[in-house]
Amino acid sequence: MSRKKIIAGNWKMNMTPTEAVQLVETLKPLVVNEDVDVVFCVPAIDIIPVVEACKGTNIQVGAENMYFEDKGAYTGEIAPAMLVDAGVKYVIIGHSERREYFAETDETVNKKVQKAFEYGLTPIICCGESLTQREQGITIDWIRQQIKIAFLNVSAENAAKAVIAYEPIWAIGTGKVATTEQAQEVCCAIRACIAEIYDDATAAAIRIQYGGSVSASSAPELFAQADIDGGLVGGASLKPDFGKIVNYNK
Ligand code: PEP
C-alpha cells in the first residue's frame, strides 16, 4: 500500500502572531509538493492568523497540544472544539517536551488521542526513548508500551487515520539525527505493533514519521525508508530549509 508522506513542522514556543504570518508568507511558495501532506503545527495563539494566511495553499494547520475534556473549568487549556472551529486539522499529542515539562503520561496521551478522534482531529502521536533507555537496549519494549497505551479504546478505523511520530528524545533539538537504520528499525517495530493490536490493513495504512534534528540533508535518506512516511520537524521548520525538507524527493 502506498502511503502519502506527511511532513509537519513543530514550531514549539516560537513566533508571535505577527512573526507567524510573516513566516507563513516566506514558506508558502517553498513547501509546495503534491506528493506530501504539509502541516504547520503552531502555538495556540498563532492558530487563527496562520489558518487565515494558509487559505488557498496546500498547507494544513495543526495544534501543538489540546486538553482531553470537552469544555469547562480548566484554566489555560484549549478544547478540541476550539481547535476544530478555528480550522485545525491535526494535533500533536504527547510530545516528549510535554511529557518532560508538563507531566503528560501515556494515560493522558490516550485520553487526548480518543478525544481528538471524537472531534475529527488527526492526532500526531509522539513516542520515543531516552538515551539511557537506548543504551540499556530497551528501546523497542518502551516504544511498544507507549503505542499500546496510546491506542487503548481506539477503533481500527480511527487508528488507520492516525499519525505516529517516532522521536528519539536524544535526537530532539540536539543536532544528533538517528541513523536511517535506527529510525527504520523502530518505525518498522511500531508498524508491527499496530498490526498486532489491530490487523495488517491498519498497519499498512497508518503513517509513521521520524522526528529528531531532521534537516534538508538527512531528510531524503530517512524518508526513503520503507516504514518512514515523513517527518516531524522542529528547528528546521522555522527556516526556508523546511521547503527543502518538504521537497526531499525533487
Ligand atoms: C520536535 O520538536 O518534534 C523535533 C523533532 O525537533 P528538532 O527537529 O528541532 O529536533
165-224: pLDDT as tens digits: 999 999 998 888 899 999 999 999 999 999 999 999 999 999 999 999 999 999 999 999
- At residue 208, the pLDDT reads 98
Mean per-residue pLDDT, 1-22: 96
Per-residue pLDDT, 87 = 98
Residues in the chain: 250
Is the pLDDT assigned to residue 131 strictly greater than 90? yes
Question: Looking at the predicted structure, is the pLDDT value of residue 239 above 70?
Answer: yes
- The finding on whether 218 has its CB within 6 A of some atom of ligand 1 is no
Is the pLDDT at 1 greater than 90? The verdict is no
Q: Of the residues 12, 64, 95, which should be mutated to test ligand 1's pocket, given the most ligand atoms within 8 Å of the CB?
A: 12
pLDDT of residue 57: 98
Cα of 123 to ligand 1 centre, how many Å?
17
- What is the percent of the chain with per-residue pLDDT over 90, rounded to a whole number? 97
**pLDDT (0 to 100) of residue 127:** 98
Q: What is the pLDDT of residue 141?
A: 98
User: What letters, b where the CB count within 10 A reaches 16 and e where it falls short, cover 33-59?
Assistant: beebbbbbbbbbebbbbbbebbeeeeb
Q: Is the CB of 235 under 6 A from ligand 1?
A: yes
Q: For residue 171, which atom of ligand 1 is closest to its CA? A: 10
pLDDT score recorded for residue 26: 98
Query: What is the average pLDDT across 19-40?
Result: 98
Stretch 31-40: mean pLDDT, rounded? 98
Q: What is the pTM of this model?
A: 0.98
Mean pLDDT computed over 43-64: 98
Whether the CB of 128 sits within 6 Å of ligand 1: no
Rounded Cα distance between 150 and 146, Å, is 6
What pLDDT sits at residue 203?
A: 98
Q: Which residue has the cell 479504546?
A: 153
Mean pLDDT for the stretch of residues 240-246: 98
Q: Do 245 and 215 contact (CB within 8 A), yes or no?
A: yes
Taking CA atoms, 159 is separated from 1, 26, 111, 212, in Å, by 16, 34, 14, 23
Q: Is the CB of 94 under 6 A from ligand 1?
A: no
Among 65, 28, 67, residue whose Cα is nearest residue 47: 65
211 CA: nearest ligand 1 atom? 5
Mean pLDDT for the chain overall: 97
